[in-house]
Amino acid sequence: MSSKKVWLAWSSGKDSAWALHLLRGTDGIEVTALHTTVTEPYARVSMHAVRVNLLEAQADSAGLPLRKVLIPAPCTNEVYEAAMAQALSEARGQGVSAIAFGDIFLADLRDYRERQLARVNMEALFPLWHRDSHALAAEMMRAGLRAYVTCLDPRKLPVDLIGAAFDEAFLARLPAGIDPLGENGEFHTFAWDGPMFRNPIPVTLGESVLREGFLFQDLLPADTPAPAGP
């Protein structure tokens, strides 16, 4: 029996990276591409704010083609859904029958994704669904997944955690009630090494900036000099 062709919604972070690892170990599933929403004016991954060249380096290291879904800034829901519909049409044309996501327990988001895919007769897959966040974080770290915090909500986390490595020390500093995987939007990451990659994607830390209530950490390829300080 032939495998089900799947595209993975790729955020550039740890959860989608781990979803890729698990999907590759699942019989009957073939991940054929990563697809990522990119804010076109900034050439960065939406919300995670990772530069497109680092996103492309991840796809190359994962050995998969990358489908960038370009959106403007600001972007209405109607414009976003139109861009996604075009991407899904392309996926269907390539024999893809399902899109996988790294969501863990946000039921309203899962319902939205399933409704949107049902409109085009496609399935939504959730390989991390309802996994315990603490156990899942430990599992990622044991397997060698390595990531940096690229965005955090300063109303929920100490600001000096921006740019921190996603490791045991980071988890130990999370305030009480914060999900260790940031599933409630407390933080986002960039995965740069792990079993889903053929080689690491080393980076250096650039500047951090507060924008629209969130603190963002710029990451640069390791061979790019960091911006000079003030």
Q: Where are the domains of the chain?
A: 4-125, 144-221
Q: Which two tokens stand for residue 117?
A: 């895919």
The mean pLDDT value of the chain amounts to 94
The residues, any chain, with a CB within 8 Å of residue 6's CB and separated by 6 or more, are: 23, 29, 30, 31, 32, 96, 97, 98, 99, 100, 125
- Among 140, 132, 148, which Cα is nearest to 196's? 140
Q: How far, in Å, CA of 71 to CA of 46, rounded?
A: 9
- Among 134, 166, 163, which Cα is nearest to 147's? 166
Q: How confident is residue 224, by pLDDT bands cut at 50, 70 and 90? A: low
Q: How far, in Å, CA of 134 to CA of 144, rounded?
A: 16
Position 113: which residue type? R
In this prediction, residues 103-121 reach a mean pLDDT of: 95
Q: State the pairing for strand pair 123-125/146-152.
A: unpaired
- 3-state secondary structure (DSSP) of residue 150: strand
CA-to-CA separations, 205 to 52, 114, 122, in angstroms, rounded: 16, 37, 39
Domain 4-125: give its CATH superfamily.
Answer: HUPs (3.40.50.620)
Instruction: Confirm if 182 and 189 have CB atoms less than 8 A apart.
Output: yes
Instruction: Confirm if 74 and 105 have CB atoms less than 8 A apart.
Output: no
- Look at residue 223 and tell me whether its pLDDT is greater than 80: no
| Largest distance between two CA atoms of the chain | 61
- Look at residue 36 and tell me whether its pLDDT is greater than 70: yes
Q: How far, in Å, CA of 124 to CA of 18, rounded?
A: 17
Query: Tell me, what's the pLDDT at 2?
Result: 81
Q: How confident is residue 126, by pLDDT bands cut at 50, 70 and 90? A: very high
Q: Where are the beta strands (DSSP E) in the chain?
A: 4-9, 29-39, 44-45, 66-71, 98-100, 123-125, 146-152, 187-193, 203-211, 214-221
Q: How far, in Å, CA of 126 to CA of 71, rounded?
A: 24
Query: Tell me, what's the pLDDT at 58?
Result: 98
- Look at residue 52 and tell me whether its pLDDT is greater than 80: yes
Encode pLDDT of 128-172 as tens digits: 999 999 999 999 999 999 999 999 999 999 999 999 999 999 999
